[in-house]
Amino acid sequence: MTVVTLIAGCGGAPDQTPPETPRAHGAWQSAYVPSNGIRLHYWRTGGTAKPALVLAHGITDYGLNWASLAERFEGEYDIIMYDARGHGYSDKPDGPYDLATHVADLVGLIRGLGIDKPVLMGHSMGGATVALAAATFPDLARAVILEDPADMLARFEPLREAVIPDWKKQIRADRRAGMARLMAHARSTRHPGWQDRDYMLWAESKLLVNPNVVDILHGDGFGDASVTYPKLQVPTLILKADANAESRKKHLAMADLLPKGKLVHIDGAGHVIRNDKPAETERAIRAFLSGL
């Protein structure tokens, strides 16, 4: 069992490369902010009079992987989609890439941009990041939304450090494959049913990532939800991918550790819930936000 699957026939030169500077997306701002000793890049929908929503992507992704979801909420929220260290257009040091460093980066971004009590939403690795950030700094966030957070993904537990070499090999293979092959692979195998634009952004993120980001799997990895969740004192929504009855019970038991939390399973959704089931994801988020 492995977390990654190498793409066959990807030994040639890339057939498409990402732009050297961040991709423009409508009128959204693209900028940098110093944080925790590095520069973090972010896209921002704008409108500082609106409440802020900060989005933290998953491992090997980047900020624009949130674009389709952000477009659904930009009328009501000032949305900040940042590239985590080693990802997208943020700085890519050799290390460190542990969870605590990602938390410090996120806190530095929020403070550097002068954002007051944003809603924090994170996917996978980003979910573990925002959960630990909000638990460690109780006054940081207004609320937290976790999309299939990595600290609740049991498949990482027995494989944590063992998968690092193969995962780094996968990232290098993705770079050789290029965007067109990555998009075709995602469309046919990894993420069927997405919008075309989301395939392009997903593929682009894979060409921009430093393989060392998977070093987060050393040590404490994505953290321990059983320790973090009881410390989350703000309203918290967990969106979980579809699962069998036994797994759902385990997920709900974990959510019960949240002082002010709830969990919603999205039927038919895989790991990237917002792209697999966009309408259902939007409804669940809006219901949660309306109760704040």
pLDDT tops 60 at residue 2: no
What's the rounded mean pLDDT across residues 137-164?
Answer: 86
CATH architecture assignment, domain 29-157+221-290: 3-Layer(aba) Sandwich (3.40)
Conformational region of residue 157, where left means phi above 0, alpha means psi within -120 to 50, and beta covers everything else: alpha
CA-to-CA dists, residue 102 to 40, 91, 241, 281, 285, angstroms = 11, 13, 24, 25, 24
How many Cβ atoms from other residues are within 10 Å of residue 253's Cβ?
Answer: 11
Which residues share a beta bridge with 146?
122, 238
Query: Given pLDDT bands bounded at 50, 70 and 90, which one contains residue 12?
Result: very low
pLDDT digits (tens, 9 = 90+) for 209-265: 999 999 999 988 999 999 999 999 999 999 999 999 999 999 999 999 999 999 999
Distance (Å, whole) CA 236 – CA 257: 11
DSSP structural state of residue 236: E
Query: Given pLDDT bands bounded at 50, 70 and 90, which one contains residue 16?
Result: low
Q: What pLDDT does residue 159 have?
A: 65
**Domain range annotation of the chain:** 29-157+221-290
* Higher per-residue confidence, 7 vs 253: 253
pLDDT digits (tens, 9 = 90+) for 165-221: 999 999 999 999 999 999 999 999 989 999 999 999 999 999 999 999 999 999 889
The counts of H helices and E strands in the chain are 10, 8
Q: What pLDDT does residue 11 have?
A: 37
What's the rounded mean pLDDT across residues 134-152?
Answer: 96
What's the rounded mean pLDDT across residues 3-24?
Answer: 57
